[in-house]
Structure 1
Amino acid sequence: MISRVFSSLPNRVSQSATAAYFTYKSWRQNGYRGCHSNKTSVIMADITVRILPALSDNYMYLIVCNQTKDAAIVDPVNPETVIEAVNKEGVNLKSVLTTHHHWDHAGGNEKLLSLFGKPLTVYGGDDRIGALNKKVKQDDEFMIGNLKVQCIFTPCHTTGHICYYIQSPASDQKMVFTGDTLFLGGCGRFFEGTADQMYSALIEKLSNLPDDTQVFCGHEYSLGNLKYGNHVEPDNKDILAKIEWSKIKREANEPTVPSTIAEEKLINPFMRVNSESVQTFANAVGNPIETMTYIRKIKDSFK
C-alpha cells in the first residue's frame, strides 16, 4: 500500500519519502538489534546462497557459483550490506537480479552501482526499476558463472514482476527467487494485476517447477501467512507442523527461508486453490480463480 501512495508523488520526493518510511519501520521493529534475522548461508556443491536480511522484513540474496566465484545479488535494497558480503566471501559480483520495481526491492540499485564502482548488469522486467540496463521477459536466459538462470514472468503484484529460476547444469541443484509473487505460505497482494494472473504465476508456472526446487522469497512473512493458512484449512496437519517449526526458527532469530515447491503445495492456500478444502472455504467449489480472488481478499484484512 505504501508503495502505491508514494508512487503518486514526484519521483525524487517519492524515493526520499519511501526510504524514510522503510528506515523508520525497520528501526521501530528491530531497534538496536539492527536485523530481523541472522545472516546465514545455504551451501551446496555448485551453488551458495548468502541470505542477507534487510529493512524490517526483507531478504536480499547473494548467489555464488562455487566453481567460478561469479555472483549475483537479488534485490539489493541495502547496498552496504551487499558490498560487505561480497568482500567477505571473496566473490566476483557481476549482476543484479531485480524482481520488481518497489523501493524495498529495487531502491538500492543506483547506490549499489555507485558504491561498487564496477560495471554490473541490472536485470529486471519493468522500466520503473532503477539502474535497469538489461530488460528481460518470460523464458529469457543468462548465466551466473556456470549457473543457468531462466526468467519467469509473473505479473500481478506488479505488472513487470520477474522470478528467477536457477539451475546447476552439473548437478540436480535448483532454486527460484520469487520476490513478492510467492512467499512461504502466501503470495503478494494483487496491486497491479488480477486473480487470473496470480493463478497463472503460481499454478501454471511456479507449481510446475520440480518439487525439490528451493524457494527463496522476498520477505519474512511466514508465521503470519501460516496463521492465515490454518484459518483457511484448520485440519491441514502440514500447516500446523510448519507453524511449530517456524516458531522455533523465529525464536532463534533464524530465517524461515528457503522452503520448496513441494512444501508450498502442501501448506500454501494460494498454491492450493484447486484443492477442495480451500475451494470450500471460499464457497467456490470447482472454481479456482474465484477461490484465488476470495482468499486474497480475506487475507488482505486478516489479523
Structure 2
Amino acid sequence: MKPLEIEVFPCRTDNFGVLVHDPESGLTASIDAPEEKPIVEAATRRGWKITHIFTTHHHTDHVEANLALKERYGLEIIGPINEAVAIPGLDRSVADGDEFLFGDHPVRVIETPGHTAGHICFHFPEDKILFAADTLFALGCGRLFERPAADMWHSLQKLAVLPDETAIYFGHEYTLSNARFALTIDPGNEALKRRAAEIEEIRAAGGFTIPTMMGLEKETNPFLRANDPAIRRNLVMESRTNEEVFAEIRKRKDEF
C-alpha cells in the first residue's frame, strides 16, 4: 500500500487547508472546506480531483466551501452525526468508533466534544495520522463553545492514547501564541522551552508548524498535562481534579 500524500496550504486568515490523496485509488479528500479558491488551486496544482470532504464540525470557517466544492467536483461529504443538520451538503453521517475505507486505508472516527457538541476527528491508524481540526492544536486546544471543560478534557484524553508517532494535522496556525502561553503555565519544562524557541524561528521565517507529533504534544502541551505535578504546583491546584486544572488552563488561555 502506497503512503498517502498530503498537501497543506493557508486558507482564510489563519486556517489550514489540507488535502489527502491516495495515489493507488486516486481518491482525494479535503479535510474540512474553509475556502473554495485555495482548495481548488491546491488540487489543480497537484493534479488531483477532490472526491470527498471529511467535515469535523459545523463552524463556518470549516464548512463554507462545502456546497461550492460539491457542485464543482460531485464529491461526497462525510461528517459528524451529532451535527448533521448543520453540515451543508452532508451525504454520510458518522459517529464515534465508526470505521470506513479511504481506498485501502482504514479511517476511524473519534468523537471529541468540547469545541462544539459533535466535533469529530479522523484517524488513519495504519498511516499514523490524525486530523484533529479544532480539538487539538500544536501546544493548544480549541475554545469551549458548546461543551464544558470536563468534556474537552476527556476528549483530549481519547486522543492522547494514540501512539506517540502519530502525526497531527490541526485546523489553525495558532502555535506561536500557544507556545508563549504554554511557557506561563509550565515555565520549568525544558522541552517546551526548546520547542518554543524553534517555533519562534519557524514563524519568523514564514514557515508552518503543521503537523505536530503526539509524543511531542504529550511532553509539552499544557492542555494534555493537567495531571502533571509541576503544572498543578504552578497553578496552586495540587488538590484539585484534572478537569478543574484543565478548566483553569483553558480560562487563562482565553484571557491571554
TM-score by length of 2: 0.94
Task: Report the equivalent of 2:79.
Answer: 123
- The alignment of Structure 1 onto Structure 2 pairs a total of residues equal to 253
In 2, the alpha carbon distance for the partners of 1:75 and 1:229 equals 27
Q: 1:188 aligns with which of 121, 138, 142?
A: 142
Task: Report the equivalent of 1:99.
Answer: 56
| Pair 235,119 (structure 1): closer, same or farther in 2 beyond 3 Å | closer
* 1:260 aligned onto 2:208: no
1:70 deviation in Å?
1.2
The answer to whether the Cα contact below 8 Å between 2:79 and 2:87 also exists between their aligned partners in 1 is no
The answer to whether the Cα contact below 8 Å between 1:70 and 1:145 also exists between their aligned partners in 2 is yes
Task: Report the equivalent of 2:66.
Answer: 109
Q: Which moved more, 1:259-268 or 1:83-92?
A: 83-92
SS of the residue 1:114 aligns to: helix
In 1, the alpha carbon distance for the partners of 2:180 and 2:103 equals 39
In 1, the alpha carbon distance for the partners of 2:52 and 2:115 equals 23
Q: 1:227 aligns with which of 150, 156, 180?
A: 180
In 2, the alpha carbon distance for the partners of 1:46 and 1:157 equals 31
* 1:83 aligned onto 2:40: yes
In 2, the alpha carbon distance for the partners of 1:189 and 1:270 equals 11
Task: Report the equivalent of 1:283.
Answer: 236
Task: Report the equivalent of 2:251.
Answer: 297
1:104 deviation in Å?
0.7
* 1:57 aligned onto 2:10: no
In 2, the alpha carbon distance for the partners of 1:254 and 1:199 equals 30
RMSD over aligned CA atoms reads 1.6
Q: Which amino acid aligns with 2:160?
A: S
The answer to whether the Cα contact below 8 Å between 1:71 and 1:145 also exists between their aligned partners in 2 is no
* 1:242 aligned onto 2:217: no
Unaligned runs of 5+ in 1: 1-43
The answer to whether the Cα contact below 8 Å between 1:97 and 1:124 also exists between their aligned partners in 2 is no
1:282 deviation in Å?
2.9
What is the aligned-residue identity percentage? 33
Structure 1 ranges of 4+ moved more than 3 A: none
Q: 1:165 aligns with which of 108, 111, 123?
A: 123
What whole-Å deviation, never above 9, does each CA across 1:4-41 have from its counterpart, x for those lacking one? xxxxxxxxxxxxxxxxxxxxxxxxxxxxxxxxxxxxxx
